[in-house]
Amino acid sequence: MPKSYMVGNWKMNQTLSEIEDFFSKLKLTSNQNNFWIAPQAVHISTCINLAMKAGVLIGAQNCSANEFGAYTGESAIDSLTELGCHFSIIGHSERRSLYGESNEDINKKVLACIKKGLVPILCIGETLSQRENGETKDVVLFQLEQGLKDVELNNESELIIAYEPVWAIGTGKSASSAQAEEVHQQIRRLLNDKFGATGDEISILYGGSVKPTNVEELLSMPNVNGGLVGGASLKADSFVALCNACSK
């Protein structure tokens, strides 16, 4: 059985006082190192200190595929791991659409993360027009194949996949559990073809308007192994509800 994760993507949100308030209210009943949060890069250190007491692991929303050097504005993987980051979101649809990240860029980041022991959460997903044109499977599996080019794994915990239909991100309109499961099954087949039995154990998260009211239904699907959550991860009570659902 793949491990279940609840991962908060805070995007470019949360002030320092909101972060302190969040962690002061965060009371998690069960925890197996599977509740994760990705704050803004400038808040990573603060969050690592506050999250340790709460038992939450902290990661980045993005990282550079390059070693240290002349890359203004970027974050080196070695610097993120030195701070205590556990993972990095890679290829979020906002990175793809707003910052022009290609599948090739994303693949380089995935390879660099695995090499350096930072767990990449590789995000893939179709746009609304691609879904309406019946292209979902082709788009998602192409992004997955390209993102995983030359990737070799020692074990399943080195990689997480997040299926995030672009039309569901931040819109309040989640995929149905059946729509999510259909795509997660296609992803699972490709992971099995590529990694054999290890591919059956890789966690596949669903992201796109997950909230306390729909999380249980989504997580009841056999191949939905957790959530990558934006808006509903920003408030402690809502994040706790999501984590509780993930522990059932």
**Spatial contact of 131 and 161, defined as CB atoms under 8 Å apart:** no
Closest-by-Cβ residue to ligand PEP is 230
Closest to ligand PEP by CB, 200 or 216: 216
Give the whole-angstrom CA distance, residue 164 versus residue 168.
Answer: 7
CB of 94 to ligand PEP, least distance (A): 7
Spatial distance between the Cα atoms of 76 and 187, rounded to a whole number of angstroms: 29
231 binds ligand PEP (CB under 6 A): yes
Q: Does residue 208 interact with ligand PEP by CB under 6 A?
A: yes
Which of the residues 126 through 185 are near ligand PEP (CB under 6 A)?
A: 164, 169-170
Q: Is the distance from CB of 104 to CB of 145 less than 8 angstroms?
A: no
Q: Closer to ligand PEP by CB, 56 or 153: give it.
A: 56
Q: How many Å apart are CA 200 and CA 212, to the nearest integer?
A: 27
Quick one: 54 or 229, whose CB is closer to ligand PEP? 229
- 164 is annotated as an active-site residue: yes
Smallest separation (angstroms) from ligand PEP to the CB of 9: 4
Contact between residue 120 and residue 159 where contact means Cβ atoms under 8 Å apart:
yes
Among positions 14, 207, 218, 219, the unique one binding ligand PEP when judged by CB under 6 A: 207
228 binds ligand PEP (CB under 6 A): yes
Q: Which residue has the tokens 């931040």?
A: 170
Number of C-beta neighbours around residue 153 at 10 A: 18
Q: CB of residue 145 vs ligand PEP: minimum separation in angstroms?
A: 21
Active-site pick, 94, 101, 126, 164: 164
Establish whether 92 is a catalytic residue.
yes
DSSP 173-196: -PPPHHHHHHHHHHHHHHHHHHHT
| Identified binder of ligand PEP from the candidate list 209, 219, 221, 246, rule CB under 6 A | 209
d(Cα 15, Cα 111) in Å, to the nearest integer?
32
**Is 148 within 8 Å of 122 (Cβ atoms)?**
yes
Catalytic residue among 92, 126, 158, 181: 92
**Residue numbers annotated as active site:** 92, 164
Where along the sequence are the contacts to ligand PEP (CB under 6 A)?
A: 9, 11, 164, 169-170, 207-210, 228-232
